[in-house]
């Protein structure tokens, strides 16, 4: 770090005194970007262009609705984690460790929601545990992009954001490969966890993938060594009503004949991991229709909730204390109610807890929000225009929209007032926002506003002045390499 600031100081003086150098600095600005892009290139080596495009399309509506600068870049600090969180919640139902919603309960790997601790403000993307452990250079580049005043004044483009999200998605999908290895061993097809397994028959491959699904669904803590215990668990699973569904889900990924190599199985298991979130959501749908039958207007009396029978795949046993803390309870005229959308999206319904993420019910509210964002492609719109669109979705909620407009008659999507309206209009999809979530949305708005106010000229002035140490041409040999300094910064 000391080396970097010396190099900086020298260049600062030079660039202030030398107009020539100022001009050449535009090319340096481009090469400075390359820290993030270099890290992304490496992290994306195994991701198909098609997947990056898919992520980009999924993110586009929200991206378009964020306030942007003239170049179309977003402030990286709160927009990036908010966009990434929304993508994973609506596409996979993934709750990523280090990226929990502001104030949401934080559950350590292998612990249950009962041991949750209360989280604080929204985390940044570089704090995601999976990135820090598996892609430290990317985490460091993201940290720089968010914290260094110069890099953050530049903001992030849709391509930067989609590539970052796709890279993180790939890292999390690859986590399944470890369980696949264990599934070979537990089915006694391989004895050594460190050896590349030999090709196996289709029948064996089905068994391996089914074991993988059981291990994945079970989540931490895992027993990946005791084959006998695993096969007993599998036998119990075979006798349940869930088994048939699991078998046909697994079969989607495997319909070839002939022997299958380790690389084939790795591909299939990552496909299953990718489809898993949508597949497991049937259980959430099932829970939702059970709850809807028990209550009305998107909520269920707490007594009815606790008094309901045990269902084969779930039971409503969460204690009042948890429901209260997680913002799931509502009290009215002395009666306590469980809010269905908040409950479904709550931590107690997350499964498959692993070191870096858990799988929860899909967030359908994000999809509804995208509908508004996509229709206007702006951070908000005039009340009458929003009313017009809202009337197509829920006509009886239109009159309440006026409470979501600000003083100038504009409805801003990422505002506490609009979030509250979404909850009233779509009580089965949109959770009632908690006070901490409201605070985070406010902070996001303020940050975006402040960021937009750094005027272009100020940015131009800032940009030429800061260099990454690797771009300093006069580095002594004893200086740490960029890799070393990156490792130190994480």
Which residues inside 107-136 make contact with ligand NAG, applying CB under 6 A? none
- How large is the greatest C-alpha to C-alpha distance in the chain, in angstroms? 79
Position 102 contacts ligand NAG (CB under 6 A): no
Tokens representing 122 are: 């929204």
Q: Does 257 bind ligand NAG (CB under 6 A)?
A: no
Which listed range, 136-144, 152-160, 240-248, 252-260, lies at the site for ligand NAG (CB under 6 A)?
252-260
Measure the CA–CA gap between 8 and 31, rounded to whole angstroms: 16
Least Cβ distance, residue 196 to ligand NAG (angstroms): 21
End-to-end CA distance of the chain: 12
User: What backbone torsions phi and psi does residue 275 show, to the nearest 5 degrees?
Assistant: -85, -10
Beta strands per DSSP E along 49-116: 94-96, 105-106
How near is the Cβ of 401 to ligand NAG at its closest, in Å? 10
Determine, following the binding rule CB under 6 A, whether residue 426 of this chain makes contact with ligand NAG.
Answer: yes
Which of 27, 49, 228, 255 is in the footprint of ligand NAG by CB under 6 A? 255
Q: Tokens representing 240? A: 């349940």
Q: Is residue 396 at the binding interface for ligand NAG, with CB under 6 A as the rule? A: yes
Residue 257 vs 333, nearer CB to ligand NAG: 257
Report which of 179, 104, 105, 165 is spatially closest to residue 135, judged by C-alpha positions.
165
Stretch of 1-9, 102-110, 425-433, 461-469 contacting ligand NAG, by CB under 6 A: 425-433
**Window of 35-43, 166-174, 250-258, 475-483 that interacts with ligand NAG by CB under 6 A:** 250-258
Query: CA 398 → CA 296, 389, 403, 459, distances in Å?
Result: 20, 9, 10, 42
Cα dihedral 148, 150, 155, 156 sign: negative
Sequence-ordered alpha helix ranges (H) in 336-363: 340-344
Is there binding between residue 264 and ligand NAG (CB under 6 A)?
no
Q: Is 297 a binder of ligand NAG (CB under 6 A)?
A: yes
Among 33-41, 216-224, 257-265, 421-429, the segment contacting ligand NAG (CB under 6 A): 421-429
253 near ligand NAG (CB under 6 A)? yes
Closer residue to ligand NAG, CB minimum distance, 425 or 466: 425
SS3 state at 466: coil
- 320 close to 302: Cβ distance less than 8 angstroms: yes
Query: Is residue 394 at the binding interface for ligand NAG, with CB under 6 A as the rule?
Result: yes
Quick one: which of 349, 352, 376, 380 has its CA closest to 362?
349
Alpha-carbon distance 403 to 388, whole Å? 15
Segment near ligand NAG (CB under 6 A), from 81-89, 163-171, 323-331, 396-404?
A: 396-404
Closer to ligand NAG at the Cβ: 204 or 489?
A: 204
Q: Applying CB under 6 A, which residues contact ligand NAG?
A: 253, 255-256, 297, 394, 396-397, 400, 424-427
């Amino acid at each position: 770090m000391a080396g970097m600031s010396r190099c900086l100081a020298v260049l600062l003086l030079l660039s202030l005194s030398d107009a020539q150098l100022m001009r050449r600095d535009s090319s340096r600005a481009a090469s400075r970007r390359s820290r993030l892009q270099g890290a992304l290139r490496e992290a994306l080596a195994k991701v198909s262009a098609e997947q990056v495009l898919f992520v980009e399309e999924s993110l586009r509506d929200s991206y378009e609705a964020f306030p942007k600068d003239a170049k179309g870049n977003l402030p990286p600090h709160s927009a990036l984690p908010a966009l990434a969180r929304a993508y994973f919640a609506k596409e996979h139902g993934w709750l990523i460790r280090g990226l929990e919603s502001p104030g949401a309960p934080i559950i350590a790997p292998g612990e249950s929601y009962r041991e949750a601790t209360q989280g604080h403000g929204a985390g940044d993307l570089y704090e995601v545990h999976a990135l820090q452990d598996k892609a430290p250079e990317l985490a460091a580049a993201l940290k720089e992009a968010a914290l260094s005043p110069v890099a953050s004044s530049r903001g992030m483009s849709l391509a930067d954001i989609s590539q970052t999200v796709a890279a993180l998605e790939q890292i999390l999908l690859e986590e399944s490969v470890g369980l696949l290895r264990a599934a070979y061993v537990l089915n006694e097809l391989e004895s050594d966890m460190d050896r590349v397994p030999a090709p196996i028959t289709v029948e064996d491959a089905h068994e391996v993938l089914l074991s993988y699904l059981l291990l994945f669904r079970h989540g931490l803590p895992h027993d990946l060594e005791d084959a006998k215990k695993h096969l007993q668990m599998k036998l119990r699973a075979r006798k349940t009503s869930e088994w048939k569904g699991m078998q046909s889900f697994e079969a989607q990924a495997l319909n070839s004949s002939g022997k299958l190599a380790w690389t084939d199985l790795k591909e299939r298991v990552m496909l299953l991991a990718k489809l898993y979130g949508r597949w497991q959501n049937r259980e959430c749908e099932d829970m939702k229709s059970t709850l809807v039958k028990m209550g009305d207007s998107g909520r269920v009396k707490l007594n009815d909730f606790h008094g309901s029978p045990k269902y084969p795949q779930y039971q409503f046993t969460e204690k009042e204390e948890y429901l209260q803390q997680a913002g799931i309870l509502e009290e009215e005229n002395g009666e306590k109610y469980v809010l269905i959308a908040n409950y479904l999206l709550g931590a107690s319904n997350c499964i498959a807890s692993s070191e870096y993420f858990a799988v929860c019910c899909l967030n359908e509210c994000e999809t509804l929000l995208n509908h508004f964002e996509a229709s206007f492609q702006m951070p908000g719109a005039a009340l009458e225009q929003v009313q017009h669109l809202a009337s197509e979705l829920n006509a009886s909620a239109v009159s309440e929209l006026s409470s979501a407009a600000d003083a100038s008659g504009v409805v801003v999507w990422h505002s506490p007032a609009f979030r509250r309206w979404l909850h009233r209009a779509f009580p089965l999809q949109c959770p009632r926002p908690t006070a901490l979530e409201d605070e985070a949305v406010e902070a996001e708005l303020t940050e975006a506003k402040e960021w937009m106010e750094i005027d272009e000229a100020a940015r131009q002035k800032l940009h030429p002045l800061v260099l990454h140490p690797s771009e300093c041409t006069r580095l002594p040999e004893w200086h740490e390499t960029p890799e070393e300094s990156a490792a130190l910064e994480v």
